[in-house]
């Protein structure tokens, strides 16, 4: 018998196409009337459209959201919020904008309505990562969980294929690590495997036709499921490495996740063989780490830390930082092991499930 504990976080989800038109109703449903519309610089036009849709419910606008949620950017947004006496934040964008909304909510207590335009999944998690003086810290608190998430597939149609791939693999990472988490349970297992299958199916469809609504809907659905996994259970080695690389070296978030995931999977495979078998089955293959690497490569995504901006000279320091305060993980983190992992990731080597290789050798002999 499998014993487990499952925590379900409260959130209202509105999923469909054209659902941006319903945002005003969602703001009023929360009892709010003065919204701060938040976005990043690249989505300033979408923020304008959202503000027009909200009409008099839009009291102010801030379009300076930045990667890794720098505290100084949050302070700028808070100044705007105070100046206009806002009573909620309506955020449209990816993980950076969602992070800003969470940071504002944490400091003010106002509710959030989030419209994701990428596949980060952070919109359904009580997790906030912030960067201050080059160090990224992560906290979990129900207070930062958005009250309402409006998924509008139409908002993702303009997401470039390259960003779709990296954002999608970022979501897949949440699902993979959920399967070997200490808090794993049957509910989250089902979400995780469904998310992996959907995302692996969606990304090639999006690459072939970026306007494929069904493919986009599959990816957004997968992101929701994967984000729910991230919200419900702890993460391990993969997320520790990505938080270290992003916070300390300023590497792009989704791209870093995309490069690291297959290498983290290969490192953990000997200690989590059943999990890797389940992931492999969801991917329709026998070698899960290699399959993820091959999927990324086939879609033109980044496969090395070199190409996302990490100097080779920093590999040793990155390994030391990752090992210093490790997250719970099925395999022990050793300095030599993590250094080897990062060296392989920096060079873009194709990782393999070592257990499968060893089994094949035993069969041959």
CATH code for the structural domain at 161-364: 1.20.1090.10
Buried b (16+ CB within 10 A) or exposed e, 344-353: bbbebeebbb
Determine the 3-state secondary structure of 113 from DSSP: strand
Domain boundaries for CATH 1.20.1090.10 within the chain: 161-364
Residues 6+ apart with CB under 8 A from 14: 22, 26, 148, 149, 150, 151
Neighbours of 4 (CB within 10 A): 11
Average pLDDT of the segment spanning 144-164 = 97
Residues 6+ apart with CB under 8 A from 360: none
Task: Give the phi and the psi of residue 71 in degrees, each rounded to 5.
Answer: -65, -30
Highest mean pLDDT pick, 43-47, 67-71, 125-129: 43-47
Residue 165's pLDDT band (cuts 50, 70, 90): very high
- CATH of 12-156 given 3.40.50.1970, 1.20.58.100, 1.50.10.10, 3.40.50.1000: 3.40.50.1970
Q: Is the pLDDT of residue 357 over 70?
A: no
pLDDT digits (tens, 9 = 90+) for 219-229: 999 999 999 99
Average pLDDT, the chain: 94
pLDDT digits (tens, 9 = 90+) for 231-240: 999 899 999 9
Q: Is the pLDDT of residue 295 over 90?
A: yes
Structure tokens at 345: 């990731």
218 touches 194 (CB < 8 A): no
Domain boundaries for CATH 3.40.50.1970 within the chain: 12-156
> CA-CA distances (angstroms) from residue 295 to 50, 161, 172?
35, 13, 12
Q: What is the DSSP string of 42-111?
A: GGHHHHHHHHHHHGGGEEEEE----TT-BHHHHHHHHHHHHHTT-SEEEEEESHHHHHHHHHHHHHH---
Average pLDDT of the segment spanning 342-355 = 92
Q: Is the pLDDT of residue 355 over 70?
A: no
Q: Is the pLDDT of residue 310 over 90?
A: yes
Residue 117's pLDDT band (cuts 50, 70, 90): very high
Neighbours of 91 (CB within 10 A): 32
What's the confidence (pLDDT) of residue 361? 52
């Amino acid at each position: 018998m499998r014993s487990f504990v499952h925590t379900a976080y409260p959130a209202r989800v509105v999923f469909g196409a054209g659902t941006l038109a319903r945002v005003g109703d969602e703001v009023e449903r929360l009892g709010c009337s003065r919204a701060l519309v938040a976005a990043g610089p690249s989505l300033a036009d979408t923020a304008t459209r959202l503000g027009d849709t909200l009409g008099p419910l839009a009291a102010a606008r801030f379009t300076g959201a930045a990667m890794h949620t720098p505290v100084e950017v949050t302070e700028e947004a808070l100044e705007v919020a105070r100046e206009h006496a806002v009573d909620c934040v309506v955020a449209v964008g990816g993980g950076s904008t969602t992070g800003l909304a969470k940071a504002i909510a944490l400091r003010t207590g106002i509710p959030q309505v989030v419209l994701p335009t990428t596949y980060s999944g952070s919109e359904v998690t009580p997790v906030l990562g912030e960067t201050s003086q080059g160090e990224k810290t992560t906290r979990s608190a129900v207070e930062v969980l958005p009250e309402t998430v409006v998924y509008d597939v139409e908002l993702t149609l303009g997401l470039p294929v390259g960003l779709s791939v990296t954002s999608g693999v970022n979501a897949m990472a949440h699902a993979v690590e959920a399967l070997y988490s200490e808090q794993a349970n049957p509910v989250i297992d089902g979400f995780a495997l469904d998310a992996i299958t959907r995302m692996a199916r969606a990304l090639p469809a999006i690459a072939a036709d970026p306007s494929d609504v069904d493919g986009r809907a599959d990816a957004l659905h997968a992101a929701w499921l994967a984000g729910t996994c991230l919200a419900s259970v702890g993460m391990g080695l993969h997320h520790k490495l990505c938080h270290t690389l992003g916070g300390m070296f300023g590497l792009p978030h989704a791209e870093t996740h995309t490069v690291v995931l297959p290498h983290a999977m290969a490192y953990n495979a000997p200690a989590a063989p059943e999990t890797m078998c389940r992931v492999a089955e969801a991917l329709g293959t026998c070698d899960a780490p290699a399959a993820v690497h091959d999927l990324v490569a086939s879609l033109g995504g980044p496969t090395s830390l070199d190409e996302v901006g990490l100097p080779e000279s920093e590999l040793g320091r990155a390994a030391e930082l990752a090992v210093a305060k490790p997250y719970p993980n099925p395999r022990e983190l050793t300095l030599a092991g993590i250094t080897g992992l990062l060296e392989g990731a920096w060079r873009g080597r194709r990782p393999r499930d070592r257990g499968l290789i060893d089994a094949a050798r035993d069969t041959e002999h």
